[in-house]
Structure 1
Amino acid sequence: MSARRHRSALAVLLLVAATTAGCSGDGPEDALSAFLDAVASGDVAAAAANTDSPDAAKTVLSQVRGVLDPEGLDVDDEEVKQPDGDVVTAGYRLTWHLRRGRTWSYRADAQLRAAENGWQVHWQPTVVHPQLAVGQTLGLLPQLPDTAPVLDRDGVPLMRPQTVIGVVVDPQKAGDTRAVAGTLAKALHRYEPSVTGRSVLDGMSKTKPGDAYPVITLRAGDYQRVKPAIYDLPGVRFASQERLLPVTRGSGQQVLPGIRALVEQQLAGAAGWRIVTRDVTGGEVSELKAEPPRLAPAVTSTLSTKIQAAAEKALETEPHSAALVAIQPSSGDILAVAQNDAADEEGSLALSGRYPPGSTFKIVTAAAALATGDVDAGSPVDCPGATTVENRVIPNEGRFDLGRVPLKTAFARSCNTTFARLAAGLGGSALTDTARSFGLGADFVVPGLTTVTGDVPASDSAVQRAENGFGQGRVLTSPFGMALVAATVQAGKVPSPSIVKGMPAATKNVGDPPSPDVLDALREMMREVVTTGTATGLRDLPEVAGKTGTAQFGDGSHSHGWFVGYRGDLAFAVLLTDAGSSKPAVQAAHRFLAGIG
């Protein structure tokens, strides 16, 4: 902590004779300067030593500096006035430079008295502030602006400020802790499954003496329902506060907490503040300084309530972890981030999960091959049931064999053998570089979110490139990353993703956009996946284009299912873990798109 001191004006109106009674050495102006210098520098012990009551001075000065936590303190306009015997009155201005650019300036007075060894500041709390009395302390209180609701892109409220009740229990006052924990668990488990008798007991056992264990935070309506069962429990108490909560309970659990954190940061930045005196009970006595809060700006999310609801509904019946991310290609606006309950238990799979993409990665492999100019969408390629790359046998699913077909057909029917061969023939970094042109392997710092796109390592091994080429090997992606891939195909370049209007992502390691010829070919090929390929389950919906993916994991007996695609200005990725094939992901995509209408 730094401190500053300026003496812009020093008027010493006293001429003290060297023979002043009871005094020797420095004059009162020197004693005052020594005291104020120590106060300004934060040397509480030295400041207190320059008073006639060091212990009391040290207590008050320490409390004041601890509360204000200043970045600096200026002392100006010192003035020592005409003496009255061995007592001198002095005045000065204190200007506290507080954090967040706050300033508090005022005049104060002190008496200096002649002592056996020189002059001393006569200690009174008014030395610090003229309204600070004996036994009082200072308090610095925030004044938060009213919290506005968080709106979706269409102005529909996503979160509103609502009253919540914190339920805490003091183990020292609970008496029969096992009985109290059991009663709390019975009443609260329906609102939070993790609240059990054992969890409450464990929490209480780890609580320091004198502290309370926070059990749960309830919406006001839920609190009223359980109040009769828990209100009179020994050691249990309740605290009310305002908090932003989703309008729809349980919606957007992977994104709304991050948006709420941004709002709270904005509220803190717009907060006003008050400095008050308090009595020995902590009660407020008087207000010394007040700055009202600034009006907090409304926060508008890029999310669409309609699309978010459709995404959540599309996944809710899946037995395994499921995630869906939807992005507007033209703007990068994140329209929906949805997971089912099973995924929520594992964390943010949609935004930062790392999974093999399976054949959805053939979008990148196709782009890399097309960029060489050696093939186009109509070029004839071989699609045998199996192929060998340096003694590594790579089969199609079920070893289907199409013979020699156009590249777009091999793509639509998802020929592993074709794309393994194409990838094996590319340079060591070709897939890595091309992936970055679609957002994979790039870094996005999205305000309000933690995201991972994926990892596409370069390789000098033809076998490794072959396996990477159909989304196995060492390639890992997230649903967020694959949604960016689909958005890039539709928009022609990687969009800059955002979750709050006016707060785009900072980007790093994004490659140059794919060429128009490559993009045109990919759009044709992804449309054929739906019309005649592996995603004909979406054929009844207009203008859908995409790519399916089945990604083996573990010992190879289990597979994740993917569908990545776009329709109009909507791009999305669906991941169903351990689904066995891509078919359930296609069905979930159909429910999602049909739900949007």
Structure 2
Amino acid sequence: MIEKVRPSRVDIRHPLIRKITVFTVIGVAAASSIVACSSGPDQPQSVAEQFATALTDDDVSAAANLTTDPAAASTAITAMIDGLGEDEGTFTVSEAEQSGDDAGTFTLDAAWNFGEGQDWTYSTHGNASASGDQWLIEWDPALLAPDLRASTTLRYTPTTGAPPSVLDSAGQPVMEQQVVTLVNLEPTADAAAVAALISPIAPTITADSLRSDLAASAGKPITAITLRAEDLAPIEDRLASLPGVMLAPQARLLSVDKALTSPTFTGLSDLWQEGQDKSAGWAVQMVKENGSATTIAGQDGPVAPNIATTIDRNLQLGAENALAGVTQPAVIVALQPSSGAVLAVAQNSAADAQGPIALTGLYPPGSTFKTVTTSAALQAGVATPDTILPCPGTENVEGRQIPNDDEFDLGSVPLHTAFAHSCNTTMARLAVGLPADALHNAGLQFGLGVDYVTPGLTTVTGNVPDANTPAERVESAIGQGTVTATPFGMALVAASIAHGETPTPMLVKGQPGVADQTAAPTPAVVTEQLRTMMRETVTGGTATTLADIDGLLGKTGTAEVDGGPAHGWFVGIKGDLAFAVFIAGADSSAPAVQVAGTFLR
């Protein structure tokens, strides 16, 4: 035992004696701070508690120096912290006893918490012994965790179950998790050699484009392209052999068919990831030097279910093929009127460059909006389908000179004929006498201006403000002025006319959207009259190039825009299919009508 320093009667005022006394006091204090010195019944407990405290505090040096092999202990404790995380584990001594004057045993209880519900607890057993006046922990990696050895380490890892699939309406996978490979280039990479291999897959990637990207990266690596397995396989060995090229595999959710692409896939990917996150579990693994691992603790998460969508693969491919030859931004949105199911949403590459315009791009709907104007007029009682109305080639209505397309002049004709031939002058004159909110309310009856929160789908329908002056109503009546709609919104208008009321959009089966407002449905007699007029548009009006398509109903539209060519529209109904075609800058509705024919045929 270390004796306590007792007060000395020696006169310590003498400098030499004072110096010796101070050294003695300091030396005794230092000796008393030496970890677990001397012997006694509490020494195994003391050294074990100090060891447990140091482990809890992630104090590698303090814990290692309490052992008989500080170097080995330091390596193992550092690896444990690296593998399981800082501040995650708590160690306490539950038992300790001395056996003889220079030996003892103890039990450590460990508790790790890696997050809510992720707890790992266990106990280990160790020995302590006295070496001279100092007690030390006899080093054994199994002190840190059961069965841990010098050749193994511990690792915490989140886990996920088998990745779900995204299914089409027939129950077949349309998107699945696949391995893709990032082709990363160092600044020293030979851009010409890389481009020669990947340009057959991606023609827009050239040696010059790669050099430009590398120059802009400020000396950092760039990702030249991400390749699917089938694209990588023929060139993998040659790419890997190029200096400065690194291939990095990653798991991603992709369409099973490279030809399939849709703005809806973004929202579906988000839903898929939510399912994966909910399926997360956790594991603690014992990792061997060769990298093989054995799970020693943890829990699997729930199985993530497949996502069953309403996408019709054949319609989706048909829509994409119909748009393939269009150079301007072009889209098709197809819905099932009876259920609100989203059957297809397709965009060409020019549209993709502008974002998901099929679902959220707002444009003046032009003459396709005459479906709403005519509905409002019929409901207001200002006309019937057979009412004879003037259709001059051009007319000044409320100070706005309104022309028909190429200023065609039909004279006086029934409303249904004016509708089928898309008489701007007729519609403008009809709208003047309508109430300020008539077009707004008629639009709401067809879902236009309604916002929907739909699982997997982000959409906007459009906006039809009140037209408070006759001049405003003239502009709104022909789908110009402040009236805007998305292709999705106009497809919903067509679906509403087909169904007799607005169906609730749905992309994931059994999960229809929720509307921010509801409107009473259009009277059945009015929707029936509109369907008859839309049929006449195909058989004898502005869409006669589609007359060979049995049972097709439709409405063409050309929408003027400032500073550029007009947009082209076509909305159609065929049985339980409603759709909208939109082509930006088409200059007329003819290209949209042609695309619709390709899509349907």
Report the TM-score when normalising by structure 2: 0.79
Alignment of 1:212-361 (within 5 A): 212-227=221-236, 229-241=238-250, 243-278=252-287, 283-284=291-292, 286-292=294-300, 294-361=302-369
Q: Does 2:529 match 1:514?
A: no
Q: Distance in 1 between matches of 2:157 and 2:546?
A: 58
Distance change in 2, residues 1:467/1:297 (3 Å): same
Matched, 1:141 2:157: yes
Correspondence for 1:4: none
Give me the whole-angstrom Cα distance separating, in 1, the residues matched to 2:213 and 2:358: 31
Q: Give the CA deviation at 1:361.
A: 0.9
Identify unmatched segments of 5+ residues in structure 1: 1-19
**430 and 138 in structure 1: CA distance in 2 versus 1, 3 angstrom threshold:** farther
In the TM superposition, residue 485 of structure 1 has moved relative to its aligned partner by: 0.8
Give the match for residue 104 of structure 1: 120
Residues in 2 aligned to 1:201 and 1:290: alpha-carbon distance in whole angstroms: 48
Alignment partner of 1:505 out of 487, 505, 513: 513
Once the two structures are TM-superposed, the CA of residue 208 in structure 1 deviates from its matched residue by 7.9
Q: Is contact 2:55–2:91 with CA below 8 Å preserved after alignment?
A: no
Q: 2:544 matched to 1:536?
A: yes
* Alpha-carbon distance between aligned partners in 2 of 1:35 and 1:358, rounded to the nearest angstrom: 77
- 1:589: Cα distance to partner? 1.3
1:514 to 1:35, Cα distance in 2 relative to 1, 3 A: farther
Aligned counterpart in structure 2 of residue 560 of structure 1, from 558, 567, 570: 567
For 1:433 and 1:38, the matched residues in 2 are separated by 70
**Runs of 5+ consecutive residues of structure 2 not aligned to the other structure:** 1-36
- Sort the Cα spacing of 1:148 and 1:34 in 2 relative to 1 into closer, same or farther, 3 A: closer
- Give the distance between the partners of 1:108 and 1:455, measured in 2 at CA: 69
1:590 to 589, 594, 597: 597
For residues 146 and 167 of structure 2, what CA distance do their matches in structure 1 show?
47
Residue pair 2:334, 2:345 contacting (<8 A) in 1 also: yes
Shift of 1:76: 11
Amino acid at match of 1:251: L
* 1:243–1:373 CA distance, 2 compared to 1 (3 A): same
Amino acid at match of 1:494: T
Distance in 2 (CA, whole Å) between partners of 1:432 and 1:78 is: 75
266-275 vs 327-336, which moves further: 266-275
Structure 2 distance, partners of 1:50, 1:425, is 89
Superposed displacement of residue 578, structure 1: 2.0
- Does the 8 Å CA contact 2:54/2:62 hold for their aligned counterparts? no
CA 1:111–1:573: 2 relative to 1, 3 Å: farther
- In structure 2, distance between residues paired with 1:216 and 1:111: 58
Q: Is the 8 A contact 1:443 1:510 kept in 2?
A: no
Residue 79 (structure 1) aligned to one of 80, 94, 107:
94
Q: 2:32 is matched with which residue? A: none
Give the whole-Å Cα distance in 1 for the aligned partners of 2:503 and 2:349: 29
- After TM superposition, the structure 1 stretch with the greater mean CA deviation from structure 2, 436-445 or 237-246, is 237-246
| Other-structure match for 2:402 | 394
Structure 1 pair 238–62 and aligned structure 2 pair: CA distance change class (3 A): same
Change (3 A) 1:50 1:351: same
| Cα separation, 2, equivalents of 1:586 and 1:203 | 41
Q: Is 1:414 the equivalent of 2:422? A: yes
3-state SS of paired residue (2:235): helix
What is the match of residue 168 of structure 2?
152
Correspondence 1:89 to 2:96: no
Deviation at 1:120, TM superposition (A): 12
2:183 counterpart residue number: 167
1:239 is paired with a residue of what secondary structure? strand
Secondary structure class of the residue paired with 1:231: helix
Which residue of structure 2 aligns with residue 581 of structure 1? 588
Whole-Å Cα distance in 2 between the matches of residues 267 and 574 of structure 1?
A: 35
Higher-Rg member (1/2): 2
How far apart in 2 are the matches of 1:352 and 1:255? Answer: 11
Question: Which one-letter code corresponds to 1:507 in the other structure?
Answer: A
Q: Matched residues in 2 for 1:44 and 1:402: separation?
A: 89
Measured in 2, the distance between the counterparts of 1:65 and 1:491 equals: 59
Alpha-carbon distance change, 562 to 121 in structure 1, aligned in 2, over 3 angstroms:
farther
Label 1:216 to 1:401 Cα distance change in 2 as closer, same or farther (>3 A).
same
Contact 1:328–1:570 under 8 Å retained in 2: yes
Secondary structure (helix, strand or coil) at the match of 1:521 reads: helix
Deviations 1:175-211 (A, max 9, x none): xx3xx122112211232244333443354456587x7
Per-residue deviation at 1:309?
Answer: 2.2
Contact 2:182 2:223 in 1 (8 A): yes
Secondary structure of the residue that 1:458 maps to in structure 2? coil
Q: Is the 8 A contact 2:84 2:156 kept in 1?
A: no
Counterpart of 1:181? 191
CA distance in 1, matches of 2:177, 2:257: 13
Change (3 A) 1:511 1:50: farther
1:200 maps to 210
| CA distance 1:108–1:587, shift in 2 (3 Å) | same
CA distance in 2, matches of 1:62, 1:584: 65
Cα deviations by residue, 1:335-384 (Å, 9 ceiling, x for unpaired): 11122333333332322222211000111222223333343333343333
Contact 2:445/2:501 (<8 A) preserved: yes
Q: Does the alignment pair 1:572 with 2:591?
A: no
Secondary structure in structure 1 of the residue aligned to 2:241: coil
8 A contact 1:35–1:121 mirrored in 2: no
Q: Secondary structure of 2:549's partner?
A: coil
CA contact (8 A) 1:276 1:284 kept: no
Deviations 1:214-269 (A, max 9, x none): 22222223223223542311121223455444343232243335434433442343
Q: Contact between 1:32 and 1:112, CA under 8 Å: does it hold in 2? A: no
SS at match of 2:285: strand
The one-letter amino acid of 2:569's match is: W
Q: CA RMSD in A?
A: 4.1
Q: Helix, strand or coil: the match of 1:225?
A: coil
| Separation (CA, whole Å) in 1 of partners of 2:127 and 2:370 | 83
Q: What displacement does 1:48 show?
A: 9.3
Q: Please identify, of 77-86 and 388-397, the stretch whose mean Cα deviation from structure 2 is larger.
A: 77-86
> Bigger CA drift: 120-129 or 187-196?
120-129
Instruction: Tell me, yes or no, if the aligned pair for 2:179 and 2:228 is still in contact at 8 Å.
Output: yes
Q: State how many pairs are aligned.
A: 556
- Cα distance in 2 for partners of 1:474, 1:269 equals 44
Counterpart-to-counterpart distance in 2, 1:155 and 1:251: 16
How many Å apart are 1:36 and its aligned residue?
Answer: 7.3
Give the Cα separation in 2 of the matches to 1:102 and 1:430.
Answer: 59
2: CA distance between counterparts of 1:439 and 1:37?
Answer: 66
The DSSP-based 3-state class of the residue aligned with 2:233 is: helix
State the shift of 1:571 in Å: 0.3
Mapped to 2, the partners of 1:253 and 1:354 lie a distance apart of 18
Task: Name the stretch that deviates more: 412-421 or 483-492.
Answer: 412-421
Are the aligned partners of 2:581 and 2:596 in contact in 1 as well (CA < 8 Å)?
Answer: yes
